[in-house]
């Protein structure tokens, strides 16, 4: 039987989700998923296509309402939290943001700050300072006046991170932040998340690339068929047995000289092909 997720110390848990269930259109997507997140760590959620990874992060973010289970943010039940209170607990970065015509980077990040404000209130000096910090931390201040429609995929993803940072929540949740990015942009976004965590942020990211997850995450959480089947240090959890059981692949992760590689046996051959993380 697959190993269950191992919770961290209760006192340190920013997030504790237990037995989360969700059905969409009558189809069960999550069938009892668990998740823990502790201050100062970067956790990657991994799993096969259709496992429920994106549904899980949307559920614990309050964007979907669980049918069963509990989600606690710093010990407080999420269902009891109002919108602004939840916005102060976590910021959510979706896979793709809408790119309306004529909106600049600075204007988009300013909209992100509005999640902290009461209705019909104006931005204060502290709010403007928070917007500037978000632009700088995400590395987008140099093109803050450009229109979103002129940005590359990597630049646009940084803007999405900046929008999340503008909330100044302690936890940043990102759903596949490196999807559809080239190698250089993927390295840049992965480095950005590690730097943000190094500066005191806590991050939870959905990642498809197992080598990337192993290279950047402090812990990985494996989701399969709507359930959490394992959680722990990447190389301890992403074993050849689990890669075979969960992904149906003859593969193994190897870490050497600070580089992480996924060795895969293609077409039934020996696993001698490397898919390396940035």
Answer yes or no: is 151 within a domain.
Answer: yes
Which is more confident, 192 or 101? 192
Among the listed residues 35, 81, 93, 7, the one whose alpha carbon sits nearest the alpha carbon of residue 228: 35
Residue carrying the six token digits 């965590």: 197
* pLDDT tens sequence across 152-186: 999 999 999 999 999 999 999 999 999 989 999 99
Res 2: pLDDT: 39
**pLDDT exceeds 90 at position 120:** no
pLDDT in tens, 259-271: 888 999 987 665 5
Query: What local confidence, expressed as pLDDT, does residue 121 receive?
Result: 75
- The pLDDT value given to residue 250: 93
pLDDT digits (tens, 9 = 90+) for 61-111: 999 999 999 999 999 999 999 888 999 999 999 988 778 888 999 999 998
* Domain assignment of residue 3, yes or no: no
When pLDDT is averaged across residues 46-51 and rounded to a whole number, the result is: 96
Write the secondary structure of 213-233 as one string of H (helix), E (strand) and C (coil).
Answer: HHHHCCEEEEEECCEEEEEEC
Within-domain flag for 16: yes
Band of pLDDT at residue 122, cut at 50, 70 and 90? confident
The CATH number of the domain where 227 resides is what? 3.40.50.300
Residue 242's φ and ψ, nearest 5 degrees, are -75, -35
The dihedrals phi and psi of 153, each to the nearest 5 degrees, come to -60, -45
Of residues 222 and 112, more confidently modeled: 222
The pLDDT, as a whole number, for residue 5 is 42
CA atoms of 194 and 20, how far apart (whole Å): 28
Nearest to 33 by CA among 57, 11, 64, 1: 57
Averaged pLDDT for residues 124-130: 91
Q: What mean pLDDT comes out for the span 132-156?
A: 95
Instruction: Indicate whether 209 belongs to any domain.
Output: yes
Could you tell me if residue 4 is inside a domain? no
In a domain, 5, yes or no: no
Domain of 130?
10-276
216 — pLDDT class (breaks 50, 70, 90): very high
Does residue 236 carry a pLDDT above 50? yes
Q: What is the mean pLDDT of residues 25-50?
A: 96
Give the Cα separation of 264 and 89 in Å (integer). Answer: 39
Q: Whole-prediction pTM value?
A: 0.89
Calculate what percentage of the chain has a pLDDT beyond 90: 76
Q: Residue 7: what pLDDT?
A: 43
Give the pLDDT confidence score for residue 270 in this predicted structure. Answer: 55
Mean residue pLDDT of the chain comes to: 90
Nearest-angstrom CA–CA distance, 275 and 99: 32
β-strand partners of 37: 15
**In the chain, what's the furthest Cα-to-Cα distance?**
63
The total number of structural domains in the chain stands at 1
What's the confidence (pLDDT) of residue 134? 97
Q: What torsion, rounded to 10 degrees, do the Cα atoms 86, 32, 201, 83 define?
A: -10
* DSSP 8-state assignment for residue 94: -
Residues 6+ apart with CB under 8 A from 210: 46, 238, 243, 253, 262
Task: Tell whether 85 is covered by a domain.
Answer: yes
**5-32 residue pLDDT tens:** 444 444 458 999 999 999 999 999 999 9
For residue 95, the model assigns a pLDDT of 87
In the structure encoding, which two tokens stand for residue 62, read together? 């309050």
């Amino acid at each position: 039987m697959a190993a269950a997720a191992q919770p961290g110390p209760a006192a340190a848990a920013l997030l504790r989700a237990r037995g989360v269930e969700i059905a969409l259109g009558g189809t069960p997507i999550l069938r009892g998923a668990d998740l823990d997140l502790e201050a100062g760590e970067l956790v990657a959620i991994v799993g096969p296509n259709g496992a429920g990874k994106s549904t899980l992060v949307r559920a614990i973010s309050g964007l979907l309402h669980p049918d069963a289970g509990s989600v606690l943010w710093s010990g407080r039940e999420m269902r009891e939290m109002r919108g602004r209170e939840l916005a102060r607990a976590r910021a959510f970065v979706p896979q793709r943001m809408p790119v309306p015509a004529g909106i600049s980077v600075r204007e988009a990040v300013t909209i992100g700050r509005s999640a902290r404000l009461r209705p019909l209130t104006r931005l204060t000096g502290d709010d403007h300072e928070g917007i500037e910090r978000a632009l700088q931390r995400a590395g987008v201040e140099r093109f803050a006046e450009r229109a979103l429609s002129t940005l590359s995929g990597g630049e646009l993803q940084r803007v999405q991170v900046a929008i999340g940072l503008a909330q100044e929540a302690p936890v940043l949740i990102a759903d596949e932040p490196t999807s559809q990015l080239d190698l250089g942009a993927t390295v840049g976004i992965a480095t950005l998340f590690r730097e943000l965590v190094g500066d005191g942020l806590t991050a939870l990211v959905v990642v498809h690339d197992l080598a990337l997850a192993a290279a950047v995450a402090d812990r990985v959480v494996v989701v399969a068929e709507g359930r959490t089947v394992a959680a722990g240090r990447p190389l301890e959890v992403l074993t050849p047995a689990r890669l075979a059981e969960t992904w149906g692949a003859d593969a193994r992760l190897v870490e050497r000289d600070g580089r992480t590689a996924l060795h895969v046996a293609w077409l039934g051959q020996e696993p001698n092909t490397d898919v390396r993380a940035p």
